[in-house]
């Protein structure tokens, strides 16, 4: 985050942070109570400060993306377990989708470059599998891409294709989900597990309930999705309306997805 260099009559936080480090070492200056509140990690992590942490986690990526001029994104979601074709993995039978995600990201980014990387920027969860494929395709096209990582109990690191200064890390799943959708121009869902299903249905619910503007909602691999979700059964049970199924588009290739995005009338809600 760049330092605020606007002219104002007061000393700024950077100046006082440096001054606080230069004070004499005494029992008083070593006491936790003496620390500047915004430099006191123990204080910021207190239970009572959760609202502040939520706000900070919302603001930091928002401000960085605003500074980079990012206006719209294309979201790629899918399993972290799907490997690159030719590699072994738990979901190697789905490896074809790695290549389609990679291709889609490349096509999207080639177009994004025409806007100097301000529009249609690829955003993924920043991890392996389909997420890696998305960031990789953007990197191969010569553009930048966003990674929205999340701290998990087991070790996870960002994939090496995320643009470093657009690689974020989250504590709160809810705020991470907001950032997936706040600039979304299209949502592309590849085969995945619990995490993918969670993000898919939450996004779909926001669109269905008109809490979010309708955008292309594209599912890759009709056979996969119709096997794990009986969409028609939801209609027959009366838990969704028949027209709710029109919110979904099924595709098999990156080119089909691009055709849907290109043909979308974004002036209509």
Residue 268 located in a structural domain? no
Residue 23 located in a structural domain? no
7 pLDDT exceeds 90?
Answer: no
Percent of the chain with pLDDT over 70: 97
Residue 64 located in a structural domain? no
Domain that holds residue 244: 69-262
Query: Residue 268: what pLDDT?
Result: 72
Residue 269 located in a structural domain? no
Query: Residue 1: what pLDDT?
Result: 52
In order, the DSSP letters of the chain are --------SS--HHHHHHHHHTS---HHHHSGGGS-GGG-HHHHTSGGGHHHHHHHHHHHHHHHHHHHT---EEEEE--TTPPPTTS--TTGGGTHHHHHHHHHHHHHHHHHGGGTTSSSEEEE-SSSTHHHHHHHHHHHTT---EEEEE--SS-----TTS-GGGEEEES-HHHHHHHHHTTEEEEEE-S--HHHHHHHHHHHHHHHTTSS----EEEE-HHHHHHH--HHHHHHHTSS-GGGGGG-EEESSHHHHHHHHHT--TT--
Query: Residue 115: what pLDDT?
Result: 97
CATH number for the domain harbouring residue 212:
3.40.50.450
* Domains in the chain, number: 1
**pLDDT grade, residue 34 (50/70/90)?**
very high
- Give pLDDT tens digits for 43-86: 999 999 999 999 999 999 999 999 999 999 999 999 999 999 99
Residue 203 located in a structural domain? yes
Residue 34 located in a structural domain? no
């Amino acid at each position: 985050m760049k330092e605020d260099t606007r002219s104002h009559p007061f000393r700024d936080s950077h100046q006082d942070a440096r001054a606080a480090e230069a004070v004499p070492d005494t029992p008083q200056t070593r006491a936790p109570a003496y620390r500047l509140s915004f430099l006191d990690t123990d204080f910021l992590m207190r239970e009572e400060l959760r609202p502040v942490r939520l706000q900070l986690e919302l603001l930091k990526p928002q401000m960085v993306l605003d500074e980079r001029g990012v206006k719209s994104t294309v979201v790629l979601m899918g399993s972290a377990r799907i490997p690159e074709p030719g590699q072994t993995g738990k979901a190697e039978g789905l490896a074809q989708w790695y290549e389609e995600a990679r291709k889609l990201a490349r096509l999207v980014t080639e177009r994004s470059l025409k806007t100097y990387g301000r529009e249609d920027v690829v955003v993924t969860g920043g991890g392996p599998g389909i997420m890696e494929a998305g960031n990789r395709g953007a990197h191969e096209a010569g553009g930048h891409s966003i990674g929205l990582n999340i701290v998990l109990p087991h070790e996870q690191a960002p994939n090496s294709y995320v643009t470093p200064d657009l690689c974020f890390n989250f504590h709160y799943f809810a705020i991470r989900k907001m950032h997936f959708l706040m600039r979304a121009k299209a949502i592309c869902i590849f085969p995945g597990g619990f995490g993918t299903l969670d993000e898919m249905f939450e996004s779909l619910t926001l669109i269905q309930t008109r809490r979010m503007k309708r955008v292309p909602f594209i599912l890759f691999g009709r056979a996969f999705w119709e096997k794990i979700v009986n969409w028609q059964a939801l209609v027959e049970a009366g838990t969704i309306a028949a027209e709710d199924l029109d919110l979904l588009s099924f595709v098999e290739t990156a080119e089909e997805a691009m055709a849907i995005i290109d043909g979308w009338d974004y002036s209509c809600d």
